[in-house]
Amino acid sequence: MRAQASLEYLFMLAGMFVLVLATLFAYNNGVLPHTIETGEQVNVLQLQNDAQYIVVQLKANELWEELKSKTVTLTISDGKTTCTVDKTSYTGTYPEVIEYSTDGKTLEKIYNDCMDGNAGACEVIICSLGAG
């Protein structure tokens, strides 16, 4: 009876050891970091999709040509970002702090940065033009 219990205990320890090794192997080969990176890429793609939809709607209404040369001012307060398109009525609030500098950049440049994969630029487009 003791031998069987010892043998079961030994197999249980061996199984745990194999599980730990498999987890370390997966992490070191980039499976977990790759999964995290993929999630971030999906978020950027969703932001790009939202920004592109807004710009397509503006183009359809013949407003983009007038707006694309405008600049955007960001104001951060209480963990939120207010985006104001200068010299227009377009303004909006984003529920988070946007990590992107709009200094000297036109909406067209910001949109191009968004399409190049900059999530902050996409957030600026969504914040400033999404409510309009």
| pLDDT above 90 for 18 | no
What SS3 state is found at 74?
strand
CB 88 within 8 A of CB 57: no
SS3 content of the chain, % helix, strand, coil (to 5): 60, 15, 25
What pLDDT score does 8 carry? 72
| pLDDT above 60 for 132 | no
109's tokens: 């440049």
What confidence category does residue 30 fall into, taking pLDDT thresholds of 50, 70 and 90? low
51's tokens: 């920004």
What pLDDT score does 109 carry? 98
123's tokens: 């957030």
Q: Which of 69, 51, 67, 34 lies closest to 121 in space, CA to CA?
A: 51
User: Is the pLDDT higher at 39 or at 70?
Assistant: 70
Residue 83 CB coordination number (10 Å): 25
Overall size of the chain counted in residues: 132
Domain ranges of the chain: 1-34, 38-130
Question: Cα(77)–Cα(39) distance, rounded to whole angstroms?
Answer: 28
Largest CA distance in the chain: 86
| pLDDT above 60 for 31 | no
What confidence category does residue 116 fall into, taking pLDDT thresholds of 50, 70 and 90? very high
48's tokens: 């790009």
